[in-house]
Structure 1
Amino acid sequence: MKKNIIFVVNPISGDLDKSDLIEAVEEFATTNHFDLEVYETKGKSDIKEIQSLYNQYQPERIIVAGGDGTIKMVAEAVEQFDVIIGILPAGSANGLSVDLNLPTTIEENLKIAFSNKCIEMDMICINGKKSIHLSDIGLNANLVKNYEESDTRGFWGYALQAFTTLNQSEEPFVATISANNETVEHTARMIVIANSQKYGTGVVINPNGVMNDGKFELIILKNLDLLLIGKIITGNMPIDSDDVVIISTDKANIKTDYPVNFQIDGEYCGAQSNLDIYILHKQMKIAIP
């Protein structure tokens, strides 16, 4: 008996041509006797289309080729269904695949995406929007905004924007944070809302993060100079320093004294002054190595 698989591919993510990828997936499916239905995202009404494909084919898996944004969209489309999502990293922001320690070659990723092992992963809801990975308010969100608006891509584009962002950064903001039945106030440069451990660049920002423990972490960076950024980038997150506070919880509210730039999973979401956050426990099944 053949098994149905839906393959969702974002044709434009990460500026890569996807035809080779689609070919590799089709070949793998044929060899392993899977029935494959390919769906290319269009950027509008994708969720409805994926849901109707799901109802039509009742697949046992949905394979996704794209970045964090595409994965999240598919997870939202199938949140009512019992289906495993397999990931083929192919976006500009592949934070989740870095966190899951997915390999770099397409062959290895195909085996994992189509194979059996999976975890039930938490997601975070922030002001009604879903986050699978890392969101933040403050300096990094400014960087994401500057990067989206700039012409230089890749690592150097990022480095250039990091420098510009630091130079232009506004005053620190004052955040009033309610979590675990207490309210604290911190002056901060950036607050990370983390379900997992590291940014897509491989930088560990939340060393104690676990993706399926029913908790998320707020990492409050009170000061952010080049020295601290250097430490974080080189993987020496100074969790015991006075500049870093970590709160682990399942729900929280953050109010800031002025609207501060905010991003979810690498997507800029405007300036915000109030964030309502709670965990969505075991929200999606993801295939892992």
Structure 2
Amino acid sequence: MKKNIIFVVNPISGDIDKSDLLNTVKKFSIINNFDLVVYETVGEKDVSVLQSLYDEYNPERIVVAGGDGTIKMVAEAMEKHDVVIGILPAGSANGLAVDLNLPTTLEENLEVAFLHHYIEMDMICINGIKCIHLSDIGINADLVKNYEESDTRGFWGYAMQAYTTLKDSEEPFLASVTANNETIEHTARMIVIANSQKYGTGVTINPNGSMNDGKFELIILKSLDLVLIGKIITGNMPIDSDDIIIISTEKALVKTDRSVNFQIDGEYCGTQNELEIHILREQMKIAVP
């Protein structure tokens, strides 16, 4: 009996042409006797269209070619359905793929996405919005906002905005964090809410994070001088530093003394001065090596 697979492609993610990818996936499906249904996202009504396709074909898996944003959309569409999601990284932000240690070649990724086993992954709920990966408030969210508003894409666009953001950054903010039945106050440049270990750039910010342990981490960065930034970027995250506090918890409340820029999974979400955060257990079945 043939297995039905829905293949979701974001045609504009990562600014790369997907026609070769599509042909490769179609050939792979023929060899493995899959019935492939291809859906190209359009940015509107994708969730309801996907739900209709699921009802029509009852697929065993949904394979996504796109970045974190596309994966998140598919996860939200499939919230009430029991289906494994496979990933073919093809976005400008592939943080989740980096965190899951997915292979670097398309051939190996096809095997994982279509055929391998899966984990049941947690998500985080922040002020009612789901996060699959990493969110933060403070200087990195400033950077995400500046990058979204700029014209230059890719690594250089990011590097240019990083320089500008650091140069123009505001004063630190004062944050009160309530978690694990205690409240602490710190001045901070940035607070990361992490379900996983790495940013899409491959930078490790939460060395002990796990996506299926029923907890998330708050990483409070009190200062961000060039030495500390250098350490983080080169993979030497100093977890015993006085400038970094890591709290592991199931729920938390973060309040700041002023409105601060905030981002979820690489998408700018405006300014916030209060974040209500809790873990959502085993929200998504995701194919892993």
TM-score normalized by structure 1? 0.99
Residues 49-88 of structure 1 correspond to what in structure 2 (within 5 A)? 49-88=49-88
- 1:148 maps to 148
String of CA shifts for 1:203-239, please: whole Å, max 9, x gaps: 1000000110000000000000111100000000011
Q: Which residue of 1 aligns with 2:212?
A: 212
Corresponding residue pairs, total: 289
Match of 1:12 in 2: 12
Q: Whole-Å Cα distance in 2 between the matches of residues 271 and 227 of structure 1?
A: 28
Separation in 2, partners of 1:201, 1:42 = 26
Q: Does 2:145 match 1:157? A: no
Q: Which residue of 2 aligns with 1:45?
A: 45
In structure 1, C-alpha distance between the alignment counterparts of 2:86 and 2:265, rounded to whole Å: 18
Is 2:194 the partner of 1:194? yes
1:260, distance to aligned residue in structure 2 (A): 0.3
1:107 lines up with 2:125 in the alignment: no
Poorly superposed stretches of 4+, deviation over 6 Å: none
Unaligned runs of 5+ in 2: none
Match of residue 262 from structure 2: 262
| Partner Cα distance (1:197, 1:274) in 2 | 24
CA-atom RMSD in angstroms: 0.7
SS of residue paired to 2:277: strand
Identity %: 77
- Write the distance in 2 (CA, Å) between the matches of 1:154 and 1:255: 33
Residue 177 of structure 1: aligned partner = 177
Are 1:242 and 2:215 an aligned pair?
Answer: no
TM-score, with structure 2 as normaliser = 0.99
Superimposed CA distance per residue, residues 225-272 of structure 1 (whole angstroms, 9 cap, x where no aligned partner): 111100000000011010000000011111111100000111010111
- The amino acid of 1:204's aligned partner reads T
The separation in 2 between residues aligned to 1:55 and 1:154, in whole angstroms, is 38
Residues 26-45 of structure 1 mapped to structure 2, 5 A cutoff: 26-45=26-45
Q: Deviations over 1:118-154 (max 9, x none)?
A: 0000001111111111000000000111111112222
* Corresponding residue of 1:227: 227
Deviation larger for 145-154 or 191-200 = 145-154
> Which digits, 9 at most, give the CA deviation of each residue in 1:53-102, with x for residues without a partner?
00110100000000000000100111111100000000011000000111
- Give, in whole Å, the separation in 2 of the partners of 1:128 and 1:68: 18
Q: 2:130: which partner in 1?
A: 130
Task: Could you tell me which runs of 5 or more consecutive residues in structure 1 were left unpaired when the two chains were aligned.
Answer: none
Letter in structure 2 aligned against 1:258: R
Alpha-carbon separation, structure 2, partners of 1:172 and 1:148: 23
Q: Could you tell me how far apart the structure 1 residues matched to 2:14 and 2:128 are?
A: 26
Q: Distance in 2 between matches of 1:52 and 1:157?
A: 38
Tell me how far 1:116 sits from its aligned partner: 2.9
